[in-house]
């Protein structure tokens, strides 16, 4: 994953340096772009990660044995409705597994010596994106999405008590600044924003007619 992040970042830096002389959008014509976009990215510090992490360590941070997580992993599709406006759908997955151990049962909030929690978080969000800089090898955009988050919560307390339930919440993502660089079809991108997909995303995007 680190190698992929470095590769994407290098592509963006190279594209920015190579095409910095193109000027502002107002001074040169924008490039025609393919209508369909498919993207895969990995984010950092998404909303599920923030709230689940806060819950884990608020309950008993000093008693945490392990805390493993994966994601947010993001899959996106966009259709170019206008040269500068795209509409689409975004799906995100995040996983967290956390274990607690207490030296005495009375120290536990639930009265058990050990507890294991797992969260599987799935979200689906309709989205809109504004691609305001469209060059042959470089682009910039902003966007927003709003949808539903489903959390599957699994908890095992002690060796016997088991809880498995589903919860639903509204969720969103704001992409404040997106940078993409590469070829006309395949590009790497970096997305800075806030929401379920993360404060920072790195990924690859493929576009076709």
What confidence tens digit (pLDDT) does each residue in 4-34 have? 444 444 444 444 434 434 444 443 567 888 9
Q: What average pLDDT does this structure show over 38-44?
A: 97
pLDDT at 159: 74
**Who wins on pLDDT, 53 or 167?**
167
pLDDT at 24: 40
**Who wins on pLDDT, 64 or 147?**
147
Instruction: Specify the residue for token string 């950092």.
Output: 44
Q: For the chain, give the percent of residues with pLDDT over 90.
A: 61
> What pTM does this model have?
0.81
pLDDT at 111: 65
Q: Do residues 41 and 191 touch, judged by C-beta distance below 8 A? A: yes
**Who wins on pLDDT, 46 or 53?**
46
Q: Do residues 31 and 136 touch, judged by C-beta distance below 8 A? A: yes
**CATH architecture assignment, domain 2-18+35-208:** Beta Barrel (2.40)
Q: What is the mean pLDDT of the chain?
A: 84
**Phi and psi torsions of 159, nearest 5°:** -115, 0
Q: What average pLDDT does this structure show over 88-109?
A: 85
Q: Which token pair is 113?
A: 């010596």
Q: Do residues 44 and 200 touch, judged by C-beta distance below 8 A? A: yes
Q: What is the DSSP letter of 172?
A: E
pLDDT at 20: 39
Q: What average pLDDT does this structure show over 88-93?
A: 98
Q: What confidence tens digit (pLDDT) does each residue in 59-82 have?
A: 666 778 888 999 999 999 999 999
Q: What confidence tens digit (pLDDT) does each residue in 105-138 have?
A: 666 666 667 788 899 999 999 999 999 999 989 9
Q: Which token pair is 176?
A: 């404040």
pLDDT beyond 90 at 36: yes
Q: How many CB atoms lie within 10 A of CB 111?
A: 12
pLDDT at 21: 40
Q: For the chain, give the percent of residues with pLDDT over 70.
A: 80
């Amino acid at each position: 994953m680190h190698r992929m992040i470095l590769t994407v970042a290098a592509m963006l830096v190279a594209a920015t340096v190579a095409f910095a002389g193109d000027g502002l959008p107002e001074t040169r014509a924008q490039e025609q772009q393919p209508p369909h976009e498919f993207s895969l990215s990995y984010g950092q510090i998404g909303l599920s990660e923030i709230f689940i992490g806060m819950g884990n360590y608020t309950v008993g941070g000093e008693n945490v044995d392990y805390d493993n997580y994966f994601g947010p992993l993001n899959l996106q599709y966009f259709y170019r409705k206008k040269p500068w406006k795209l509409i689409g759908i975004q799906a995100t997955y995040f996983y967290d597994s956390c274990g607690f151990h207490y030296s005495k049962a009375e120290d536990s909030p639930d009265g058990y010596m050990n507890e294991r929690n797992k969260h599987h978080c799935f979200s689906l969000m309709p989205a809109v994106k504004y691609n305001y800089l469209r060059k042959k090898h470089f682009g910039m955009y902003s966007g927003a999405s709003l949808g539903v988050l489903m959390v599957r919560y699994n908890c095992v307390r002690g060796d016997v008590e088991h809880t498995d339930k589903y919860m639903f919440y509204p969720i969103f993502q704001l992409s404040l600044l997106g940078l993409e660089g590469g070829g006309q079809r395949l590009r790497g991108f970096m997305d800075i924003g806030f929401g379920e997909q993360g404060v920072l995303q790195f990924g690859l995007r493929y576009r076709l007619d």
